[in-house]
Amino acid sequence: MESKEISQAVISRLPRYFRYLGDLKDLGVERISSQELSRLMQVTASQIRQDFNNFGGFGQQGYGYNVEYLYQEIGKILGMDKTHHLIIVGAGNLGQALGNYMNFERRGFILKGIFDKNPDLYGKKVREIAVQPMEEIEQFVKENEIDIAVLTIPKNSAVQVAEILVANGIKAIWNFAHVDLNVPPNIQVENVHLSDSLMKLSYNLERANKENK
Amino acid sequence: MESKEISQAVISRLPRYFRYLGDLKDLGVERISSQELSRLMQVTASQIRQDFNNFGGFGQQGYGYNVEYLYQEIGKILGMDKTHHLIIVGAGNLGQALGNYMNFERRGFILKGIFDKNPDLYGKKVREIAVQPMEEIEQFVKENEIDIAVLTIPKNSAVQVAEILVANGIKAIWNFAHVDLNVPPNIQVENVHLSDSLMKLSYNLERANKENK
DNA sequence: TAGATTGTTAATCGATTAACAATC
DNA sequence: TAGATTGTTAATCGATTAACAATC
C-alpha cells in the first residue's frame, strides 16, 4: 500500500530523464547537477529536483547527482530491472512492427505470443514466435505468466478482446486500437491513439500557417 | 495572427471529442447536451463547455449541441477538411505499417513518398508508392508540396534527417524516433515515443502490483 | 571553512470545476 | 411562459516555478 500517490505528469517525464541519463552514462559523464540537466533537457532545474524528490533523495548537496546511480534508480522505478512477458494481439503491420522492434527486448519486454484471427497469418513467425489463432488466447494467457497485452486490432473487436484478456488475468494493456477500453480500475491501460496524435499535429500545423500570414 | 493562444491540453482533447461525435453521428444521434456527453466520455460537463468555448459558441441554450454541426466544426479546427501530403522517412516495419494504415488516407492524409537508405528496399511498394533512396528526399520535398514528414528511422540519424527536411521546407514532423529533435520554433513536431509509453505502463503495472499486496 | 547544490517550503501560475446569469 | 442548457465568470485545485535553509 503506497502512501503518496505520484501524479501521472511526473511519471510521464521519467522515461525522458531515463533516456538522457542513459546517454550521459554512455558518454562517460559521472555526475550532473539539476542545473546542467535543466539546460540539456530544456526544463527547469526546480522541476527536475521536485520530480526526483517524489521518490526520495537521489542527490547530494554541493555535488549534484551521480549519473550512473540516478539512471539505475529511475530504471528501477520504471520497472526496467524486471522482465515483462507480453503478447501481441493482432498480427497486422503494426503488430508485426512492434514485435520486431528489438529495443523492447533489450529493456526486458519479452514477446511470448502473437495472435490473429486471420488464418492466412497462422504460423507466420515474428522473431521466432509463430502467430496463433485468436481462439488459443485464453488458454495461453492462463498457462503462461503474461504481464502485458499489446492490442493492435481494429476498434470494433478491441473492447471485447480486452474483456476476454482481463477475464483471464491480464493486468496491463498497451492499447493501439482507436477506442477507449472499458476495464476495471485495477487494470492498467496505456493508450497510443496514433490518429489523435496526427490530428494534433495537423491542428498545430494549421495554426502555425495562419500565424505566419 | 491569432489573438488567444489555446492550450495544448485543450487541443489534445479535441481528437477524442471528434471521435465520440463521429460515433454519435453514425448512430443517428442528432443532438447532445454537455451533460450527456460528459457521462459518455467520463469528463466533466464543465470541461466540455469550456473546451468548446475556446473556439466560439457551438451550442444553443436550452437545446445543447447539434452533433453533426459540432462534428464538422471540430473537424475543421483539427484541419480534417483539408488534404495533407505526407512522406515517410524510414521504410522499416513501422514505416510500412503507418503507410499501409488506410484510415489516415480517409482523413485526408495522403502518402506521397517513402524513403529509406537501405537499397534492398528501393522499389518496394507501400500502397502504390515505391520506396526511394534517401538521397532523393531533398529534391522530392522541394518539388512536391509536402506538409508532413513521418520519421520512422533510428535515433542516430533522426536529428540530422530532420535538419535536412527543415532546410528543404518541411513544416511539420511526426517523430517516431526515440530522440528529441532540435528544430526552429516555427516547425511543428509531434513526438510518439513508444518506449516512453511502454515504460509508463510498466511503472503503473508495478505500482498496482505493490498496492494489491 | 567557503562554495555549491540539494531538498523542501512558499509563491505563482494555469487548468479544472462549480456556479449562475443569459437566453433559446 | 417555464424548463433546459449554454456561455462565462468565479472558486478551487493541482502543477510548476521560485526561494532559501540545510548540508555535503
pLDDT digits (tens, 9 = 90+) for A146-202: 999 999 999 999 999 999 999 999 999 999 999 999 999 999 999 999 999 999 999
Length of chain B: 213
Confidence tier at A141 by pLDDT (50, 70, 90):
very high
Cell readout for A173 is: 494493456
Confidence tier at B50 by pLDDT (50, 70, 90):
very high
Rounded to 5°, angle at Cα B94 from A11 and B103: 95
Percent of chain A with pLDDT over 90: 91
Write the residue in A93, A103, A190 that is nearest to B96 by C-beta: A93
Cell 522530392 locates to: B140
Asked if residues A161 and A153 have their Cβ atoms less than 8 Å apart, the reply is yes
Burial of residue B23 (number of CB atoms within 10 Å: 0-12, 13-18, 19+): middle
Question: What's the N-to-C CA distance of chain A in angstroms?
Answer: 55
Count contacts between A and B (CB, < 8 Å).
176
CA closest to B17 among chain A residues:
A196
pLDDT value of position A189:
98
Write the residue in B172, B186, B193 that is nearest to A212 by C-beta: B186
User: Domain boundary at A77, A109, A137, which?
Assistant: A77
Q: Do B184 and B106 sit in the same domain of this protein?
A: yes
Our measurement of CA B60 to C1' D6, in angstroms, reads 6
Q: Do A39 and A130 sit in the same domain of this protein?
A: no
Query: Which range of residues forms the domain containing residue A137?
Result: 84-196
Mutate which of B1, B81, B88, B199 to disrupt the A interface (most A C-beta within 10 Å)? B199
Q: Do B102 and B168 sit in the same domain of this protein?
A: yes
pLDDT at residue A35 greater than cutoff 50: yes
Q: Do A187 and A117 sit in the same domain of this protein?
A: yes
Cell readout for B199 is: 515504460
Cβ of B63 near strand D (distance < 7 A): yes
CA closest to A78 among chain B residues:
B203
pLDDT at residue B157 greater than cutoff 80: yes
β-pair type (B84-89, B109-116): parallel
pLDDT value of position A64:
97
Q: Do B125 and B177 sit in the same domain of this protein?
A: yes
pLDDT value of position A1:
35
Residue B210 inside a domain? The answer is no
H helices present in B27-64, as ranges: 34-41, 45-53
Write the residue in A84, A192, A197 that is nearest to B202 by C-beta: A84
pLDDT at residue A115 greater than cutoff 60: yes
A203–B172 CB contact, under 8 Å: no
User: Domain boundary at A61, A77, A93, which?
Assistant: A77
pLDDT value of position B213:
57
Q: Do B54 and B126 sit in the same domain of this protein?
A: no
Q: Do A124 and A98 sit in the same domain of this protein?
A: yes
Mean pLDDT score of chain A: 95
pLDDT value of position A209:
86
Which residues make Cβ contacts (< 8 Å) with residue B142, sequence separation at least 6?
B168, B169
Mean pLDDT across B142-146: 95
pLDDT value of position A186:
93
Domain with residue B102: its CATH number is 3.40.50.720
Report residue B149: phi and psi, to 5°.
-110, 130
Q: What is the number of domains present in chain A?
A: 2
Confidence tier at A105 by pLDDT (50, 70, 90):
confident
Mean pLDDT across A42-60: 96
| Strands laid side by side in the A148-151 sheet | A125-126, A129-133, A109-116, A84-89, A148-151, A172-175, A188-191
Confidence tier at B209 by pLDDT (50, 70, 90):
confident
- With CA of B45 and C1' of each nucleotide, the nearest comes out as C17
Give the separation between CA A104 and CA A126, rounded to whole angstroms: 14
pLDDT at residue A4 greater than cutoff 70: no
Domain with residue B57: its CATH number is 1.10.10.10
A79–B11 CB contact, under 8 Å: no
Q: Do B165 and B124 sit in the same domain of this protein?
A: yes
Residue A1 inside a domain? The answer is no
Residue B204 inside a domain? The answer is no
Mean pLDDT across B131-158: 96
pLDDT digits (tens, 9 = 90+) for A76-97: 999 999 999 999 999 999 999 9
pLDDT digits (tens, 9 = 90+) for B62-119: 999 999 999 999 999 999 999 999 999 999 999 999 999 878 888 999 999 999 999 9
User: Domain boundary at B32, B53, B77, which?
Assistant: B77
A199–B14 CB contact, under 8 Å: yes
pLDDT at residue A211 greater than cutoff 90: no
